[in-house]
Amino acid sequence: MSFHPHAHLLPAALDDLPRIVSACNDLLVDAAGHRLIDLFSANGAAFLGHAHPRIAQALKQQLDAVWLTGGLPTDAGDAARQALETRLPSGLRLAGLYTTGMEAAEFAMRMARVHTGRPGFVGFDRSMHGKSLATAALGWANAPAVPVVHRLPSFADQPPAQVLQQLEDCLRRHPVAAVFLEPVLGSGGGHVAPEGWCAELIALCHSHSALVVADEILCGVHRTGPFLAHAPMRADFAGPDLLLLGKGLGNGFPVAAVAARADIACTAAMLPGSTYAGNPLASRAVAATLAELPALDVPARVAAITEAVQGALAGVEGVVLRGRGALWMIEVASAQRAQSLARRLYRQGVFVSCTAQYLRVLPAATITPAHLAQALGVLREALCAPDQD
């Protein structure tokens, strides 16, 4: 089954929506002074809440120092590298900071192609790696054709063992540079890769000398609980060759990262730089965000969100709840039903987004228990009520 993702839709036409003038932690405030509980946190990016005071202060201080250097090194860049590399799995190091997840994915493709000398890539249905010509083709059936991309069914649509068999067939027949893996389908239905499946996929790819790119742009940085969603707690786990992080990495400031195995040298042929790559503001946002994670005990907060979401929404008739941690998708009967529900929730002071027949629930780790309970109560009531639009 092929998945055709739509743009992440707002719940009504733009001219029908209140204009947001400020935000603080888990609340959005419109021009009329009305407050909305934010269950979407800017596509999951504002993971430590809107306008986090210490992250905002770090950015303000950097604004007074230097914004952009054209690639020359800065203290902010050094701080970001150190903060991130202390959290990366053994054997990975930061290859570059970029502005968007799409840009990071494009760079990972260039790295893999140059390092292996192979032209091909494999992606899976329902995955989201970006909206450029190449990254969109990795996961979207309606993306423009790119001859070097082989797209296979997702573990959400076929038995996982069967998907691996199709992958092995593809790896035998084609010169594949890298396989892109999204361990939690954050746009494609909230499906979670089965236990141990990522490790099997990585081992299979390595047996055919293909690299693995783990895309944790949305599900990483504790969004689904652990720092990385794909890695089991096993010392013998062979990890991916390239790792993508973003969104929550800078708490909503535009930044994404590519980490690579130490033996994958970054060369000029990979076209590693861009005008805003590794800029001091983005670097400072990364360092400040990562510094806040231990003090906030984010894994414990995410565990509490899991319990609250499952307690409020599991078992609601006519809907399917999928996800992990603070990343959830609610499947309803149709795209029209999803949009109708999103409009109703917005009118009742709760903001979610919808894509296809799904509502997306991506609360900040710092959402207050009272606001979370209130918003989930409104959401449950809307799901149980007949469609009013």
The predicted-structure confidence for 52-107, as pLDDT tens digits, reads as follows 999 999 999 999 999 999 989 999 999 999 999 999 998 999 999 999 999 999 99
Region at 185 (left for phi over 0; alpha for psi -120 to 50; beta for the rest): beta
Strand 327-331 to 320-324 pairing: antiparallel
Of 277, 300, 298, 249, whose CA–CA distance to 55 is shortest? 249
pTM, to two decimals = 0.93
Q: How confident is the model at residue 133 (pLDDT cuts 50, 70, 90)?
A: confident
What pLDDT was estimated at residue 325?
Answer: 97
Residues above pLDDT 70, as percent of the chain = 92
What pLDDT was estimated at residue 354?
Answer: 92
- 184-224 pLDDT tens trace: 999 999 999 998 999 999 999 999 999 999 999 999 999 99
Of 65, 37, 89, whose CA–CA distance to 227 is shortest? 89
Mean pLDDT of the residues in the chain: 92
- Report the alpha-carbon distance of residue 96 to residue 82 in Å, rounded: 13
Whether residue 341 is predicted with pLDDT greater than 70 in this model: the reply is: yes
Cβ(250)–Cβ(286) below 8 Å: yes
Q: At how many degrees (to 10) do helices 369-384 and 335-347 cross?
A: 130
Ordered by where they begin, the domains of the chain are 14-51+297-384 (3.90.1150.10), 53-295 (3.40.640.10)
